[in-house]
Structure 1
Amino acid sequence: MGNETNIARPDLIVILGPTASGKSALGIALAQRFNGEIVSADSRQVYRGLDIGTAKVTPEERSLVPHHLLDVVEPEEVYSVAQFQHEAIAAINAILHCGRQPLLVGGSPHYIQTVVDHFDIPTVAPQPELRAQLEARPLEDLLLQLEQLDPQSAASIDRQNPRRVIRALEVCLVTGKPFSQQRGISRPLYRCLLLGIQWPREILYQRIDSRIDERLQQGLVAEVQAQLEKGLTHERLDAFGLEYRFVSRWLRGEFASEAEMVQRLKYASHDFARRQLSWFRRDKSILWLDGPGDCIEQASTAVQAFLNQPEEISTS
């Protein structure tokens, strides 16, 4: 064995939690206090032009703290978890090289996990014929098959995102092994402090509902229409999460009124937040902050203690 296990790992602060919990604001506050820069861990904010529906930080907020991995690709392009892992690690290392503190901030569990746990992601090439066969089947059938072949992935995946479901099935069928069992873990690259923001359930739902109303007032429908006018398909919009999926369905006439669409979107967002929390709760290393309390002070105290306690290096 080499000496790599005797090298102290650099520190990475991770801020996570369900949608509308206040991750972005906390990330900016901590980055300002600890000479930091933020790497976004959001599977939708990598796309240019998807600003309102993804709650992307504003230009004014970006001027306060440098942000990385926002607006990386066009919406018609596919951006994989493997690409994110590669580019996030490169961004974190560049921040460290400049003598600043990296913060990984977001709510996409798979994105966060690939960096924190340093997953070896399965490299199965796309199978066009198999994908065409899978795409021709109803999503409900695909989910049923994924539940049989890989219950762990079926439980954690975005069940309304056909592209993710098809990819997980593709890997299972090509390799004969569950997708979730193929993500081996290498030695973590960073010593991580994981901070989660938690709220009483009813308050979180109120925050989600208020943010949906704000997004609609900010022009979410116009943002979706603009993407359609650029040639993006409704099917592609479905892959960008609940806001885009429900507005797209409304524009296609699937709801009796805008009010019905908004209410259905709010309920679906509550369910999404529950699934996010279920996923994060599995990780016992997360330090949960009290959302209604002074999150910034709680987090600052935890970060200071973390940075003041260097990693112990084994000399054996």
Structure 2
Amino acid sequence: MLKVNSQKSKVIVILGPTASGKSSLAVKLAEKIHGEIVNADSRQVYKKMDIGTGKTDSLGSKIPHHLLDIVFPDKPFSLAQYQRLAFRAIDDILRRNKIPILVGGTGLYIRAVVDNLDIPKVKPNITLRQKLEKQTAAKLFSQLKKLDPKTAEIIDYHNKRRLLRALEVVLIKHTSFAELQKTKKPRYDILQIGLKTDRAILRQRIEKRFIQMIKNGLLEETKKLLKKYPANLPSMSGIGYLEIGQYLAGEISLQEAVNRAVSRTYQYAKRQTTWFKKDERIKWISKTSQAGKYILNFLKK
């Protein structure tokens, strides 16, 4: 095991687009450096949504994982809630002299921890929200692109709840939701490692992974969820669940569901990469074996 300089609270972040291999790298690292994993994927916080969110590998790991399965699909879960729980999990890991490894592709979740964001407290406007809720996600996203292009770059444009909140903030405060998030003094000494993958290879991985999800039981998982939860929930409009739900409803063929889910995932992966590329602190690697030298130097300094 590596000898860690304990003068500062060190946290490692493994980030990158979906299907880039973050989770497997994080588990290997955790085994070597006595680490525990903290989830930074906004879909993996939901209970009962395992196959479609790529959570199944994490659930079978011997390495402790935090912030998986913490909220039911029909319950709201804010960025502020995530930040509070992430800080609690990281502090607990550090108290036990282990190394927290924050893993995921949700840019705002990662930034909330890395930059200790001071998340704006804007009370919901019921009248405004009721008016916005009558619009489709596509119309909400179009409006957000005009009013707050910075936030529109990174938001999941099918997640109606997040679109509503972002529009609510910009219409009430008359400024960008992203710009409202001020940074405070960092809580931790952080190393961010990003996984970069050739786009053609990434798309192949995305397609292969989604087909494997179907083989692993995604259709049955979606059926069970739809028996218990409405199809119009933000969680159920997530990539994979929306398309399989449309297939189960007889609206599209299974092949069309696969095509749409793969295309949507790839577009999301490109937006993730665009978001992360703006942070010059990230150490980008093309091979997982390259992570070792960065981590060794980081833990010893």
TM-score when normalising by structure 1:
0.89
- Offset, 1:270: 1.3
Counterparts of 1:108-127 in structure 2, within 5 Å, are 108-127=106-125
- Offset, 1:155: 1.6
Checking the alignment, whether the CA contact within 8 Å between 1:162 and 1:239 is kept in structure 2 is: no
Counterparts of 1:1-316 in structure 2, within 5 Å, are 9-58=8-57, 61-62=60-61, 64-230=62-228, 232-236=229-233, 239-255=236-252, 257-290=253-286, 293=287, 295=288, 297-309=289-301
Checking the alignment, whether the CA contact within 8 Å between 2:73 and 2:236 is kept in structure 1 is: no
Q: 2: CA distance between counterparts of 1:155 and 1:60?
A: 31
Amino acid at match of 1:69: L
TM-score when normalising by structure 2:
0.94
Checking the alignment, whether the CA contact within 8 Å between 2:12 and 2:190 is kept in structure 1 is: yes
Amino acid at match of 1:258: L
- Offset, 1:240: 4.9
Structure 1 segments of 4+ aligned residues over 6 angstroms from their partners: none
Deviations 1:248-298 (A, max 9, x none): 22223331x1111111211121111111111111111111111xx4x1x31
Deviations 1:61-92 (A, max 9, x none): 33x21110011011111111110000000100
Deviations 1:2-28 (A, max 9, x none): xxxxx9641110000111111111111
Checking the alignment, whether the CA contact within 8 Å between 2:45 and 2:67 is kept in structure 1 is: yes
Q: 1: CA distance between counterparts of 2:75 and 2:269?
A: 26
Unaligned 5+ segments in structure 1 are 1-6, 310-316
Amino acid at match of 2:20: S
Q: Secondary structure at the match of 1:267?
A: helix
Distance 1:259 1:105, change over 3 A: same
Unaligned 5+ segments in structure 2 are 1-5
Q: Tell me the percent identity.
A: 42
Q: Secondary structure at the match of 1:153?
A: helix
Q: 2: CA distance between counterparts of 1:121 and 1:192?
A: 20
Q: Secondary structure at the match of 1:234?
A: coil
Deviates more, 1:134-143 or 1:179-188: 134-143
Q: 2: CA distance between counterparts of 1:82 and 1:254?
A: 37
Deviations 1:92-137 (A, max 9, x none): 0010000111100011111001000110011112222221110102
Q: 1: CA distance between counterparts of 2:145 and 2:139?
A: 10
Deviates more, 1:211-220 or 1:146-155: 146-155
- Offset, 1:57: 4.0
What is the CA RMSD across the aligned residues, in angstroms?
Answer: 1.7
Determine which structure has more spread, i.e. the larger CA radius of gyration. Answer: 1
Q: 1: CA distance between counterparts of 2:238 and 2:17?
A: 14
